[in-house]
């Protein structure tokens, strides 16, 4: 187990490595996970996330590859919200709406990083203090995000925060996973299980309508494992709205420990995900343009899949959805763990 440090001019990249050779590389800029190397069934260590070959591309990255997203991940309708009858106006950076914390979001700050190591794990503590009014949000918020890698090939992401004013907060990581290794193919032939029987309907602006839809009998029912590419079509209205794929909030049923299990038959890799979050946005890179030079290949549609575990920013309008409100002085404590294994 070790932590390697690489100085990249104004940024620093840290690489966590366990005794199995699994390695996770993270920038202090945006807390970006640039690479995750895990073995396939033939023992080949390959990268299973999307990232740029030229790290300078992260400065203007509109895809949020591997970043910590906040203060609020997802879209806030009309780029404003109300708390206790006071209106807070945010930057509209996605049409008329506010997306992923806006231009001053956590994906574009340099985090204060402290590496740590024990006999059984190695990790990074990333700290940031977001000041009152930053990005239009209320409250001085202390935030600690911890990345931990152990010898069971588990990567644990934990989020802690506290605000001196009641505010809104929904942090997540925006890694795009592709288990083929080194981007050999899109994720269309990945097989996916999600512990969810309900998802949130979207309108043409990709804003939740307030209607919870039953997944049964639709391309959104992943309870019994199905091919991810089944939804890469225009036949079902909700797949069409997001440009042939998924960009929807799934509510977890909490029937299973693993909220997500992703498998790639070609490599034998399996990724299981646990989380104490109430749900997630699954995004299948529907709007990822072609031709970007990534670390191993050129970008293309459906090249990766994101599992953005979080509460829902739509809860600011739709009270039935999991709330993003963090009350003054309360602790925000969330966790998502990814376990990498091989198909037996």
**Active site members:** 174, 308
What pLDDT, on the 0 to 100 scale, is given for residue 173? 98
- pLDDT over 80 at 158, yes or no: yes
- pLDDT over 80 at 130, yes or no: yes
> pTM of the entire structure?
0.97
> Would you say 38 and 46 are in contact if contact means Cβ atoms under 8 Å apart?
yes
pLDDT in tens, 76-113: 999 999 998 999 999 999 999 999 999 989 999 999 99
What pLDDT, on the 0 to 100 scale, is given for residue 5? 87
What pLDDT, on the 0 to 100 scale, is given for residue 234? 75
Residue 189: how many other CB atoms lie within 10 Å = 14
What pLDDT, on the 0 to 100 scale, is given for residue 89? 97
Q: Please state whether 78 falls in left (phi above 0), alpha (psi between -120 and 50) or beta.
A: left
Domains of the chain: 2-184+269-342 (2.70.98.10)
pLDDT in tens, 210-260: 899 999 999 999 999 999 999 998 789 999 999 999 999 999 999 999 999
Backbone angles phi, psi at 104, to 5 degrees: -105, 25
Identify the three-state secondary structure at position 81: strand
Cα(194)–Cα(221) distance, integer angstroms: 8
Half-sphere exposure of 91 (CA within 13 A, CB side): 13
pLDDT in tens, 10-38: 999 999 999 999 999 999 999 999 999 99
What pLDDT, on the 0 to 100 scale, is given for residue 162? 98
Share of the chain above pLDDT 70, in %: 100
Burial class for 138, CB neighbours closer than 10 Å (0-12, 13-18, 19+): buried
pLDDT in tens, 298-341: 999 999 999 999 999 999 999 999 999 999 999 999 999 999 99
3-class SS letters over 163-225: ECCCEECECEECCCECCCCCCCCCCCCCEEEECCCEEEEECCCCCEEEEEEECCCCCCCCCCC
pLDDT in tens, 172-213: 999 999 999 999 999 999 999 999 999 999 999 999 998 999
pLDDT band at residue 70 using 50, 70 and 90 as cut-offs:
very high
Cα(117)–Cα(139) distance, integer angstroms: 33
β-pair type (269-275, 226-227): unpaired
What is the pLDDT averaged over residues 259-283? 98
What pLDDT, on the 0 to 100 scale, is given for residue 250? 98
Half-sphere exposure of 123 (CA within 13 A, CB side): 20
pLDDT band at residue 159 using 50, 70 and 90 as cut-offs:
very high
What is the pLDDT averaged over residues 282-295? 95
- pLDDT over 90 at 264, yes or no: yes
pLDDT band at residue 155 using 50, 70 and 90 as cut-offs:
very high
pLDDT band at residue 49 using 50, 70 and 90 as cut-offs:
very high
- The mean pLDDT of the chain is 96
> Would you say 336 and 277 are in contact if contact means Cβ atoms under 8 Å apart?
yes
What pLDDT, on the 0 to 100 scale, is given for residue 82? 94
- Which residue, among 169, 173, 165, 182, has the nearest Cα to 145 in the 3D structure? 173
The two structure tokens encoding residue 212: 């919870």
What pLDDT, on the 0 to 100 scale, is given for residue 340? 98
What pLDDT, on the 0 to 100 scale, is given for residue 235? 86
pLDDT band at residue 165 using 50, 70 and 90 as cut-offs:
very high
The two structure tokens encoding residue 141: 């918020």
What pLDDT, on the 0 to 100 scale, is given for residue 338? 98
């Amino acid at each position: 187990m070790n932590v390697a440090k690489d100085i990249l001019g104004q940024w620093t990249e840290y690489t966590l490595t366990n005794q199995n050779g699994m390695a996770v590389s993270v920038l202090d800029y945006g807390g970006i996970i640039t690479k995750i190397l895990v073995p396939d069934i033939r023992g080949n260590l390959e990268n299973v996330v999307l990232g740029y070959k030229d790290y300078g591309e992260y400065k203007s990255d509109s895809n949020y590859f591997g970043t910590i997203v906040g203060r609020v991940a997802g879209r806030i309708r009309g780029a404003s919200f109300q708390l206790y009858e006071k209106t807070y106006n945010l930057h509209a950076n996605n049409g008329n709406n506010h997306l992923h914390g806006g231009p001053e979001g956590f994906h574009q700050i340099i985090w204060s990083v402290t590496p740590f190591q024990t006999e059984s794990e190695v990790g990074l503590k990333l700290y940031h203090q977001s000041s009152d009014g930053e990005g239009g949000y209320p409250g001085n918020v202390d935030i600690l995000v911890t990345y931990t890698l152990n010898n069971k090939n588990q990567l644990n992401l934990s989020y802690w925060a506290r605000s001196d004013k009641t505010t809104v907060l929904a942090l997540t990581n925006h890694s795009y996973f592709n288990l083929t290794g080194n981007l050999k193919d899109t994720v269309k032939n990945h097989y996916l299980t999600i512990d969810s029987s309900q998802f949130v309907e979207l309108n043409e602006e990709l804003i939740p309508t307030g209607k919870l839809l039953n997944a049964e009998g639709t391309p959104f029912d992943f309870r019994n494992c199905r091919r991810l590419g089944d939804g890469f079509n225009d036949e079902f209205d909700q797949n069409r709205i997001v440009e042939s794929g998924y960009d929807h909030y799934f509510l977890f049923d909490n029937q299973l420990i693993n909220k997500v299990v992703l498998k790639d038959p070609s490599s034998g890799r399996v990724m299981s995900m646990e989380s104490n979050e109430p749900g997630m946005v699954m995004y299948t890179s529907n709007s990822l343009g072609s031709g970007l030079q990534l670390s191993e290949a050129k970008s293309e549609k459906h090249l990766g899949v994101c599992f953005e575990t979080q509460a829902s920013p739509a809860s600011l309008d739709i009270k039935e959805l999991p709330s993003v409100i963090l009350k003054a002085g309360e602790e925000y404590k969330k966790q998502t763990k990814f376990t990498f294994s091989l198909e037996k």
